[in-house]
């Protein structure tokens, strides 16, 4: 199994304004305008090459400023096989849950699991290290649909925790969807504050590509994003996240 960085998650109490500023300052095309997924959970996406920049409103108490909340990964094997591999590494994962966004011909569907043990105080989804089996499938079916965030239960939306790592399997042609918008930069490197779990990150079978660096010291979460290609812009800070160019 190999894992690849798929999207970065920036949590915000004002997702429309944050997405607009992110797209403008990164010179990144908007792939999906902010929409309500369920309840008070809202999501919007800008494209930066093969890595989406997702702005997410989640939880009963929003952060005072945009937060580098977490990351999304994809695997080169089926989702439940990948979840089993992560559990064998000692990383608890949630049962798979369905996600839906968009409407009609533009509707997008996926399945995802939450991954614990990589960032501190993760999104409070029930997670364990047992071998995936019938109980996971039943729990995933019972969880229903809560959008891109790999929902586990509506009640959890009141408390978002401080971080999120999600492993996604798309049920649509995500590359064709991303290709509907053109231009913009590429994410070349990402710096993550691990909150003490650097060793766990370094055990992950990550593909070459976007350069990921890990630091156990200082604030946890996405701290720095380095962009490349496209029209070079100026370095800037969006809440807790620094954006640079190379």
**What CATH number corresponds to the domain at position 45?**
3.10.180.10
| Domain ranges, residue 172 | 3-182
Predicted TM-score (pTM) of this structure: 0.91
- Tokens for 75, please give them: 């695997």
Q: Report if residue 147 sits inside a domain.
A: yes
Q: Report if residue 101 sits inside a domain.
A: yes
Q: Report if residue 91 sits inside a domain.
A: yes
Q: Report if residue 201 sits inside a domain.
A: no
- One digit per residue, the tens of pLDDT, for the chain of length 246 reads 999 999 999 999 999 999 999 999 999 999 999 998 877 789 999 999 999 999 999 998 989 999 999 999 999 999 999 999 999 999 999 999 888 888 888 899 999 999 999 999 999 988 999 876 645 554 544 444 444 444 444 545 678 999 999 999 999 999 999 999 998 899 999 999 999 999 999 999 999 989 999 999 999 999 999 999 866 778 999 999 999 998
* Sheet of strand 211-215, all strands in order from the earlier edge strand to the far edge: 211-215, 186-193, 221-228, 241-245, 236-238
Q: How far apart are CA 53 and CA 95, in angstroms?
A: 25
Q: Report if residue 83 sits inside a domain.
A: yes
Count the domains in the chain. 1
Q: Report if residue 79 sits inside a domain.
A: yes
Q: Report if residue 47 sits inside a domain.
A: yes
Residue 8 burial (C-beta neighbours within 10 Å; 0-12, 13-18, 19+): buried
Q: Report if residue 159 sits inside a domain.
A: yes
Q: How far apart are CA 221 and CA 22, in angstroms?
A: 17
């Amino acid at each position: 199994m190999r894992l690849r960085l798929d999207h970065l998650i920036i949590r915000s109490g004002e997702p429309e304004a944050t997405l607009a500023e992110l797209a403008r300052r990164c010179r990144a095309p908007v792939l999906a305008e902010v929409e309500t997924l369920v309840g008070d959970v809202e999501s919007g996406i800008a494209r930066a090459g093969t890595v989406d920049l997702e702005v997410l409103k989640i939880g009963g108490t929003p952060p005072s400023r945009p937060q580098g909340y977490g990351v999304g990964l994809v695997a080169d094997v089926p989702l439940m096989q990948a979840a089993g591999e992560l559990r064998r590494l000692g990383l608890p994962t949630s049962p798979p849950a369905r996600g839906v966004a968009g409407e009609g011909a533009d509707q997008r569907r996926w399945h995802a699991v939450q991954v614990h043990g990589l960032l501190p105080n993760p999104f409070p989804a029930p997670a364990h290290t047992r071998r995936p089996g019938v109980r996971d499938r039943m729990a995933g079916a019972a969880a229903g649909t809560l959008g891109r965030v790999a929902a586990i239960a509506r009640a959890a939306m009141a408390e978002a925790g401080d971080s999120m790592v999600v492993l996604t399997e798309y049920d649509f042609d995500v590359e064709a969807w991303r290709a509907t918008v053109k231009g913009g930069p590429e994410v070349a490197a990402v710096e993550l504050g691990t909150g003490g779990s650097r060793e766990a990150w370094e055990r992950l079978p990550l593909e070459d590509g976007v350069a990921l660096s890990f630091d156990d010291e200082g604030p946890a979460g996405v701290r720095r994003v380095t962009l490349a290609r496209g029209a070079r812009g100026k370095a800037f800070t969006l809440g807790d996240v620094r954006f640079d160019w190379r």
